[in-house]
Homo-oligomer: A and B are copies of this chain.
């Protein structure tokens, strides 16, 4: 009695319907009725699984976040020594595979709370990465580490948003990673075309 087939089917259908509808009309513009209808389910059935559309969206997001965390884990520990770009590459690949869910989350649909969840999760992974790297290499940051983490998370999210919103990917994930790695190495001054500072 692990799991009834019907509940699994229903939950999946409702989740997919929500994602599709949010993508089409935006979160605030859709109703529970809309979601249920798209999923070929009764409204009462919706409420027997979720408390409301916010609740459903929250679960969709936390599933996404969990999948990402699991997928990034090896890349994070692996790149604990230097700047490899592995975690970022894994993030981009996951976003490519789950493009629709990424788009609605990154757009800040649903009052921005799902995006907040996503951001926090990424921030946690980033902090761990920094911590591990500093520890294993015996280095101490030259600028405030909290600020540094914010900056890096902000960069990743901005690039990610830009990347998933293009119908045809503007450039392959590997190239994005390479560029951000160069940026990390040489700074934005250099990347803008100026020569290295004194």
> Which residues in A have some Cβ–Cβ distance to B below 8 Å?
26-28, 54, 83, 107-112, 115-116, 130, 133-134, 137, 139-144, 146-148, 150-159, 161-162, 170-171, 176, 179-180, 182-194, 197
Q: How close is A81's CB to chain B, nearest CB, in angstroms?
A: 11
Cα A191 to Cα B148 in complex, Å, equals: 8
Decide: A189 and B193 in contact? CB cutoff 8 A.
no
| A151 to chain B: closest residue by CB | B155
Closest 5 CB pairs of A and B: A154-B158, A108-B112, A139-B193, A187-B187, A108-B108
Q: Which of A116, A161, A188 has the most CB of B within 10 A?
A: A188
- Tell me what chain A mostly uses at the interface: helix, strand, loop, or mixed: helix
Q: Copy number in this complex?
A: 2
Decide: A134 and B184 in contact? CB cutoff 8 A.
no
Chain B residues within an 8 Å CB radius of A108: 108, 111-112, 115-116
Given the interface pairs A112-B107, A143-B182, A185-B187, the reply to whether A192 lies near B158 with Cβ below 8 Å is: no
Chain B residues within an 8 Å CB radius of A188: 148, 151-152, 183-184, 187
Decide: A144 and B171 in contact? CB cutoff 8 A.
yes
Chain B residues within an 8 Å CB radius of A147: 159, 162, 171, 176, 179
